[in-house]
Structure 1
Amino acid sequence: MANTSYWNRNFILILIGNALLFMVYNMQVPVLPLYGKKLGLTPSQIGIFVGAIMFAALVTRLFVPWFSGKFSKKVLLVVGILLYLVASIGYPLLGSFGLLVLLRLFNGLGHGITTTYFATSAADELPHQKIGEGMGYFGIGTMVTASLAPLLALAVVHQYGFTAFFMTCIGVLAASMVTILGTTPHRHETVKTATKAPVFDLKFLPQCSLVFILGVLMSGVMTFTPIYAQVRHLSAISGFFFVAAIAGVVIRPIVGHTFDRRGPRLILLLSTVLLTLGMLLIAWVNHNWLLLLAGVFYGVADGAIYPTLQAWIFKVTTIENRDTATGMFLNSYDLGMGLGAVVLGSVVELVSYQGMFLVLAVVSLLYIGLAMVMSRAKA
């Protein structure tokens, strides 16, 4: 099969639709903590508000086997994007903590559905021997829009306010919907009446454990770096997310080819070391250029670890069980993101923002050893 055979209309539309959805997600990452702060929420409340999306996504993915047996991926993606739209419409209209958390839960339902079925729809278009390469390119779409998202989001908020920001999110989500409506069901997708794999399978423990801890680490960076930059009187927070996304875009094709040839071990070693360095830089940052350098390290690590673990889990499962395996993988990541946002919000109140990032640096250091133990067996 030719190397570019998976570049068909379906794969391109799925890539674009996923990229646009994640653009909204990454637009909200730096803005929602600021929005919560403007409304008078405490750091713990901000952590709960931001992290609620992950808990809702986790619960939603427990029903992936049932969803897959009843509905096509296209229908499920449309429903997921609609739930994202409901939340984005409601955020500027409802200002109380309880109602905001409720909207975030609706957002999480959509997030759980879309992240599962965008990934598996893309994997359906890929030959098995090109899983690493194809998912690497699939992730580039996410990283490209992620590089633009913080710049666009913060610029809109500063110039026009939060209401205009949420209207922008609605427009981007509508564009994502259009791309999905243009796709056709893949030949692998049939009505499934056979028993699906269990919701949790120990075969996927290495990938799920590693991506869970990655989620905890990422939640600390994405939720609290914008506020920490304000505390440190730094103005380069948009640049931080921009260079991180660019670094992720650059590294992903290299990571994909390396994974297909050598498996996950070397990639995980180098990227976890960079992740630790990035956390240390954020903890001690006192100049904008150090914040940007931390963004590069963080971006390379995130752009290498996540797609490597995702490609690895696709390598060890079957086509029939991809939906379930993907649900487990994403649930592990989102559980880490959700718990991380809540727990780390409390850590901030105990030891300050800098202390919280030093804790993350220690966790990252331990993560290096765990990654080496878990990746002993080749994919």
Structure 2
Amino acid sequence: MVNRLWTKDYILVCLTTFFMFLNYYYLLVTIPIYLIQDLQGNTAQAGLLVLVFYVAAIVIRPIAGQWIGSFGLKKVFLASLIIYIGAAFMYFFTASLMSLMILRVIHGIGFGMVTTTTGTIVANLIPQHRKGEGMGYYGLMMNISMALGPFFGLLAINQWGSSMMFAISFVSVIIGVLTGLFISIPKEEKKAVTEKGLKKKGLNINDLIELSAFRVSLICFFFAIVYSSIVSFVSVYAEELQLTEVASYFFIVYVVALIISRPFTGRWFDQYGANVIIIPSIISFAIGMFLLSQANGALIFLLSAAFIGLGWGTIFPSVQTIAISVAAPEKRGAATATFYSTMDAGIGIGSVIVGILGAKIGYSSLYFYSSIFALAGIIVYHYLHGKDSRSLRESVKERELA
């Protein structure tokens, strides 16, 4: 590993992540429209398509983490690219709900494997003394794709129809695969695995879940529950406020706030430790949710996006950095899988909870109580990591120097 952050391979893995997540968010908003308009489906079926995708990704990630340790990162990464591009191509041939559902499961498997492998690759590429900064920029790729994916997706399906929409989707995956193929992945020492050994060992829970990363990942699970209310219902809330035209700019402001803050937050994380960055980020997240609950016009609505972007957008890569750092180098694949699966579980469970609460108490009240919930996250963070932050940081440094 070199001491520079912006190496060829780091840039390529960031680009690969960007295009894969761009495709993910692009299809997240367009597949329900395609189902309803072209396949005469309904909203309940559209929700089921989202669910099976998430379930497939969550289930495959810990298994992919074990495969990385057994067969090597490069092989699992190449397999994930093949599955992902194959799934993107097969969308041209979906003509029924069942075929689309099966394909979403396959695509979810590919997505789960790609995110696990790219997360492991980037963790291995970043110099230890720049982990916070490097993971911050890597996370920024996902945040930017979150803003651009839905924008281009809605533009494509509304202006040019589903065939062109799937064509653009496929092209984005091709670019992501090409950038991925040029990443130089160092050969790793892997566990000797035989067919007999695999049968004997099976899927051990300790191999599927990296326990050292699980405790830290629960922090992200907690805040992902709050974040799910933004992903799932902020556009519905904007319609209630008669701010439909402004809603499309919410995630643009969110990303702009992230881009401005990213050079500082990542470096401060490396220099001063997790507590100095994460606790103010939690407060920012809570302020953003409170402002959103009080929004009665475009200014407060968009201002809340900036605070939420600074908050969640910094909490997410910071906790991911910790989760990977506390794991041994050979367990980074499992740690990455554990982190993403825990976060996705939070978003999935949160979407159900906030959906029920939003219908009962209204979205303004939902976001108000979410701000209190987020602020209580300081206590959660303190007991799961904050009080041990300094000692864990020192032990990680000692392990890297050993």
* Contiguous gaps of at least 5 residues in structure 2: 194-200, 394-402
Task: Provide the C-alpha distance between the structure 2 equivalents of 1:73 and 1:242, rounded to a whole number of angstroms.
Answer: 34
Task: Provide the C-alpha distance between the structure 2 equivalents of 1:328 and 1:204, rounded to a whole number of angstroms.
Answer: 7
Q: Counterpart of 1:326?
A: 336
Cα deviation digits, residues 152-182 of structure 1 (max 9, x gap): 2333233224443332221101100111112
Letter paired with 1:208:
S
Mapped contact 2:136–2:314 kept (Cα < 8 A): no
User: 1:336 Cα shift?
Assistant: 0.9
Mapped contact 1:74–1:183 kept (Cα < 8 A): no
Task: Provide the C-alpha distance between the structure 2 equivalents of 1:213 and 1:267, rounded to a whole number of angstroms.
Answer: 17
Percent identity between matched residues is 27
Residue correspondence of structure 1 range 251-262 to structure 2 within 5 A: 251-262=261-272
Task: Provide the C-alpha distance between the structure 2 equivalents of 1:59 and 1:226, rounded to a whole number of angstroms.
Answer: 29
Letter paired with 2:295:
V
The reply on whether 1:368 has 2:369 as its aligned counterpart is no
Task: Provide the C-alpha distance between the structure 1 equivalents of 2:370 and 2:158, rounded to a whole number of angstroms.
Answer: 30
Q: What TM-score do the two structures reach when normalised by structure 1?
A: 0.87
Residue correspondence of structure 1 range 335-354 to structure 2 within 5 A: 335-354=345-364
The reply on whether 1:377 has 2:376 as its aligned counterpart is no
Mapped contact 1:208–1:329 kept (Cα < 8 A): yes
Q: Counterpart of 2:224?
A: 215
Cα deviation digits, residues 216-254 of structure 1 (max 9, x gap): 222221122223323433212221111111222222222
Q: Secondary structure at the match of 1:236?
A: helix
- Highest Rg: 1 or 2? 2
Q: What TM-score do the two structures reach when normalised by structure 2?
A: 0.82
Cα deviation digits, residues 14-67 of structure 1 (max 9, x gap): 11111111112233344456556766634x655443243322111102213441
Mapped contact 2:15–2:141 kept (Cα < 8 A): yes
Change (3 A) 1:270 1:236: same
**Relative to total residues, which structure has the larger helix share, 1 or 2?**
2
Mapped contact 1:33–1:223 kept (Cα < 8 A): no
Task: Provide the C-alpha distance between the structure 2 equivalents of 1:215 and 1:327, rounded to a whole number of angstroms.
Answer: 16
Q: Counterpart of 1:122?
A: 122
Residue correspondence of structure 1 range 119-158 to structure 2 within 5 A: 119-158=119-158
User: 1:322 Cα shift?
Assistant: 0.7
Q: Counterpart of 1:55?
A: 55
Letter paired with 2:42:
L
Q: Counterpart of 1:305?
A: 315
Q: Secondary structure at the match of 1:321?
A: helix
Mapped contact 1:135–1:307 kept (Cα < 8 A): yes
* Contiguous gaps of at least 5 residues in structure 1: none
Q: Secondary structure at the match of 1:184?
A: coil
Q: Counterpart of 1:22?
A: 21
Change (3 A) 1:177 1:328: same
Letter paired with 1:338:
G
User: 1:103 Cα shift?
Assistant: 3.3
Mapped contact 1:64–1:327 kept (Cα < 8 A): yes
Comparing 261-270 and 66-75, the one that deviates more: 66-75
Q: Counterpart of 2:6?
A: 7
Task: Provide the C-alpha distance between the structure 2 equivalents of 1:237 and 1:222, rounded to a whole number of angstroms.
Answer: 12
Change (3 A) 1:143 1:212: same
Comparing 150-159 and 238-247, the one that deviates more: 150-159
State the superposition RMSD in angstroms.
2.9
Letter paired with 1:27:
Y
Task: Provide the C-alpha distance between the structure 1 equivalents of 2:107 and 2:66, rounded to a whole number of angstroms.
Answer: 20
The reply on whether 1:232 has 2:231 as its aligned counterpart is no
Task: Provide the C-alpha distance between the structure 2 equivalents of 1:28 and 1:87, rounded to a whole number of angstroms.
Answer: 12
Task: Provide the C-alpha distance between the structure 2 equivalents of 1:58 and 1:300, rounded to a whole number of angstroms.
Answer: 26
Change (3 A) 1:366 1:36: farther
Letter paired with 2:133:
E
User: 1:85 Cα shift?
Assistant: 4.0
User: 1:97 Cα shift?
Assistant: 5.7
Task: Provide the C-alpha distance between the structure 1 equivalents of 2:336 and 2:26, rounded to a whole number of angstroms.
Answer: 24
